[in-house]
Amino acid sequence: MTDLQISLLVIGGTLVVGVIIFNKWQEYKAKKTVENAFGDGHDDVLMHPDAPADSIVRHEPVMDGDVSVEGLPASPDMSSHDQGDADHVPVVQEKELPVDELIDCVIPLEFETPVRGEKILAEIADLKYVGKKPVHFIGQSHSGERDVIAVGGAYTCLFAGVQMVSRSGPLNELEYSEFIMKLRAIADNLNAHSDIPDMNKVMINARELHQFVAEHDAQLSVNIAANGAPWALNTLLAALEKMGFDQRPDGRLMMPDGDGGSLFTLSTNVSVSETMTSRLTLLLDVPCVSPARDGFGAMAACARSLSTRLGGTVVDDGNQPISKLALDEIAGQVNEFYAAMAEAQIPAGSLRAQRLFS
């Protein structure tokens, strides 16, 4: 082997070692960046939904940049009114049942004599879906009260409801036909009389409701982009879980709303096989979160906190920093969106909204 060949081998080996060392150094820096960001011992109240209510002081979020918005409709402004205690009237919340005449095609099955709940439950156990549309049942007792079917109860009428719309689309003719066929078999077994609605009218109602869902299917997202080196994913995920995020099977992380639901989600924008990421995305499913929870404000505050801790910048989907003016405009649109949904008797975060936008 000549001196030249030996020299080339030495140079090549040195380059390979240099690349390995550089990669290890990058991974070390990425891990230390995340550890330093979350190792200061300061907790965000936002990240602990179970904290006592009297320990929480809400601050309006202040961010630099813009927000990505899809589908927010225009509607009349929602104004606030201050009222004294003398003018305050308690609001009685009507119980939300799984069969809802506003969003379901509801068909009553009337019994000649009261039927026990356990017998009804045995008959309806297998009818939970037709196609992709969920089916629910409630019963009416002799006193006229309606509620879910329960063992030990006695019912004079059964109400079957098939949901007319979901994000996958409106109820179609095949789904409705399957629903009617199975419902007639249940009616025969329970000696019940049913009044079947005209299919054409049901399809028209389903399409009209689907139009509303399409116009109000709004989602808001903000991103945190790394200013320098990417973040070590394993350290980042562990820290986010300690902050209150729950990891989903699809890899996204969910911030619980404190009542069994989701406030907003976080995506690392990389596959499970990746070790680092340079971008995080927070997403708010607007119609599924009650205005009282201030999902938009909570998400914005979380984005600012993460950007500060991680040394990143809050940006929109076009990678542009978010401006305060744009944020205020979006906040106004969110309020208009909530007002439009409330006017349509499908308030954001309600059972109706969660079913329609599932």
List average pLDDT for each run of 10 residues in the chain, which is 358 residues long.
53 49 52 58 43 36 37 37 41 75 97 97 97 97 96 97 96 98 97 95 97 94 95 91 88 89 94 92 96 92 91 93 82 91 95 94
DSSP state of 240: H
pLDDT for position 64: 34
In this prediction, residue 33 carries a pLDDT of: 53
Ordered structural domains, the chain, with CATH: 104-213 (3.30.70), 218-356 (3.30.1400.10)
pLDDT (0 to 100) of residue 81 = 35
The two tokens of residue 172 are 């179609």
Q: What integer pLDDT is reported at residue 65 of this predicted model?
A: 35
State how far the Cα of 168 lies from the Cα of 85, in Å rounded to an integer.
45
pLDDT for 329? 85
The answer for residues whose C-beta is within 8 angstroms of residue 101's C-beta and 6 or more apart is 161
Whole-angstrom distance, CA of residue 335 vs CA of residue 73: 10
Name the one residue in this structure whose structure tokens are 């002799």.
142
Return all residues near 241 (Cβ < 8 A) that are at least 6 apart. Answer: 247, 253
Q: What is the pLDDT of residue 324?
A: 72
Q: Three-class SS string for 46-59?
A: HHCCCCCHHHCCCC
Write out pLDDT tens, residues 63-88. 333 344 444 443 333 333 333 443 44
- The pLDDT score that the predictor gives to residue 223 is 96
User: What pLDDT sits at residue 52?
Assistant: 41
Tell me if residue 129 falls in helix, strand or coil.
strand
Rounded-to-integer distance, Cα 280 and Cα 171, Å: 36
**Cα(193)–Cα(146) distance, integer angstroms:** 18
Three-point CA angle 287, 290, 296, nearest 5°: 75
Return the pLDDT at 330.
Answer: 87
pLDDT at site 250: 76
pLDDT at 214: 95
117-124 and 173-189 helices, crossing angle to 10°: 140
Whose tokens are 């089916």? That residue is: 135
CA dihedral 200, 205, 208, 211 (to 10 degrees): -100
What are 193-218's pLDDT values in tens digits? 999 999 999 999 999 999 999 999 99
Q: What is the mean pLDDT of the chain?
A: 81
> CB–CB of 334/95 below 8 Å?
no
